[in-house]
Amino acid sequence: MRIQAIRGVKDIMPDEIEKWRWVENKANQVFNRYGFNEIRLPIFEKTKLFSRGIGETTDIVEKEMYTFEDRSGEMVTLRPEGTASAVRAFIEHKMYTAQTVQKFYYLGPMFRYERPQAGRFRQFYQIGVEAMGSHNPSIDAEVMIMLLEFFNVIGLKQFELQINSLGCNKCRPEYRETLKKSITNHLVDLCENCNIRYQKNPLRVLDCKIERDIEIASGFPKITDYICNECKCHFEKVQSLLRETQIPYIINPNLVRGLDYYSHTAFEVTSRELGAQNAICGGGRYNTLVEEFGGPPTPCFGFALGLERLISLIPFNDIKSIEKNPDIFVVSLGEDAKSIVFNLVHQLRSGGLSVERDYEEGSMKSQMRKANKSASLFALIVGENEIKSGNYQLKNMRDGKQSSITAASCVEKIKTLINSKV
């Protein structure tokens, strides 16, 4: 019986994982500098958390959640995103009592039952960032700047930052009505989905990805012309901070995001190199979600980026530091060597070195071939003659030079040698 992975779900193989770790470490370093520390959130939650948090009429909640009843009859859902969980944790752990902005990030798999295609998966990884507890537009700008700083550190160059303001609970209803009126005249030309969106949540029409609908939507009234003075001031301040720090951006008045919790600033980072699924990252302000879940009024700002999409864009050929070859390949020959090698490898590894060996214990030629293939820095040769003389042979695999090394002190000597090379 051959069982394959579920459609839209993929393995991240050992030869790719170094890239993932490298990106994750860089994110950790950059985010730490801005005061964001890691939080680990559960992979599944009560379904209500997502359906209320993300919005009942969003595609995610209507069509894409992996929801099931557990053995006690509770409806649970594999998380389609991290913000709702972050808000739950913020309230559950009374993080609001800290009186300072709470900044944290999370990393891990998310699950959405979408139609799989290039760059779109049913299990995908996100790094998400949330700053909770301030309405200051500096937070909006700072978090976007941090994201771009991260992109700079990992060598990502071709992307576009798009921003918009989605107004607030005070000014959005008026815009919603105006938009709905405009849409009415185009219903016959819009897709079937947009006809449903028009009824349930007309702003979603602006998010349609169908070419013809995008064209029609470009003629609809712009939300930025309807937002109240407070929202306008906030949006202008965010922009002036971005300009001050020379961050290029464009305003996309049709950017509405696929989740309902946003107000004020919303943003996306896209890349033309990604094809149809062109969003690397999306986020924005969500000022009412904490309160809706029973916490105190807490304005928040955050984003999440898709790791598969991001990693596919990074020019890893230019990044030398991610090469992960063993320091030493131990080549052993003869019966006596067999008993020594196990412990020798153990000692070298305990000494902090990365060590490989040939578990097949093949011929000298075949072991040297494997050493070459592993791209180790050195090969340590332990044969019968070496054991008798008490001196092993150390071969530098880069220049081919070979030297003798005393068995008794070989671990220390190799450690010094390798540390001097890195």
**Interface with ligand HAM by CB under 6 A: which residues?**
81-83, 112, 114, 120-121, 124, 126, 128, 130, 258-259, 279-284, 286, 302-306, 308-309
**Nearer residue to ligand HAM within complex by CB, 60 or 331:** 60
**Nearer residue to ligand HAM within complex by CB, 88 or 357:** 88
**Nearer residue to ligand HAM within complex by CB, 91 or 355:** 91
Tokens describing residue 177 = 């009505």
We find the least distance from the C-beta atom of residue 233 to ligand HAM, in angstroms, to be: 22
How many CB atoms neighbour CB 184 within 10 A?
10
The residues near 234 (Cβ < 8 Å, ≥ 6 apart) are 135, 137, 140, 165, 264, 265
**Nearer residue to ligand HAM within complex by CB, 202 or 302:** 302
Contact in structure between 86 and 128 (CB atoms under 8 Å): yes
We find the least distance from the C-beta atom of residue 268 to ligand HAM, in angstroms, to be: 7
We find the least distance from the C-beta atom of residue 285 to ligand HAM, in angstroms, to be: 8
CA distance 141 to 240: 9
Q: Report the sign of the C-alpha dihedral through residues 347, 349, 353, 354, in that order.
A: positive
We find the least distance from the C-beta atom of residue 263 to ligand HAM, in angstroms, to be: 11
We find the least distance from the C-beta atom of residue 119 to ligand HAM, in angstroms, to be: 6
**Nearer residue to ligand HAM within complex by CB, 120 or 186:** 120
CA distance 378 to 100: 52
- What stretches of 271-321 adopt beta strand conformation (E)? 279-286, 300-306
**Nearer residue to ligand HAM within complex by CB, 120 or 176:** 120
User: Amino acid identity of 119?
Assistant: G
We find the least distance from the C-beta atom of residue 125 to ligand HAM, in angstroms, to be: 8
We find the least distance from the C-beta atom of residue 187 to ligand HAM, in angstroms, to be: 27
Instruction: Please count the CA atoms within 13 angstroms of the CA of 399 that sit on its side-chain side.
Output: 3
**Nearer residue to ligand HAM within complex by CB, 119 or 253:** 119
**Nearer residue to ligand HAM within complex by CB, 308 or 356:** 308
Instruction: Please tell me what DSSP assigns to residue 409.
Output: T
- What stretches of 29-87 adopt beta strand conformation (E)? 37-38, 44-46, 66-69, 75-78
Residue nearest to ligand HAM (CB): 306
We find the least distance from the C-beta atom of residue 337 to ligand HAM, in angstroms, to be: 50
Percentages helix, strand, coil for the chain, rounded to the nearest 5? 45, 20, 35
Sheet holding 328-332, edge to edge: 355-357, 328-332, 378-382, 391-396, 402-406
**Nearer residue to ligand HAM within complex by CB, 42 or 352:** 42
Report the length, in residues, of the chain: 422
Instruction: Please tell me what DSSP assigns to residue 121.
Output: -
In order, the DSSP letters of 104-120 are: EEEEEEEE-----BTTB
Return the CA Rg of the chain: 28
b/e burial code for range 134-153 (CB count within 10 A of at least 16 → b): bbebebbbbbbbbbbebbee
Instruction: Please tell me what DSSP assigns to residue 302.
Output: E
Tokens describing residue 194 = 């947009």
Distance of CA 117 to the CA centre of its chain: 18
User: Amino acid identity of 151?
Assistant: F
**Nearer residue to ligand HAM within complex by CB, 81 or 327:** 81
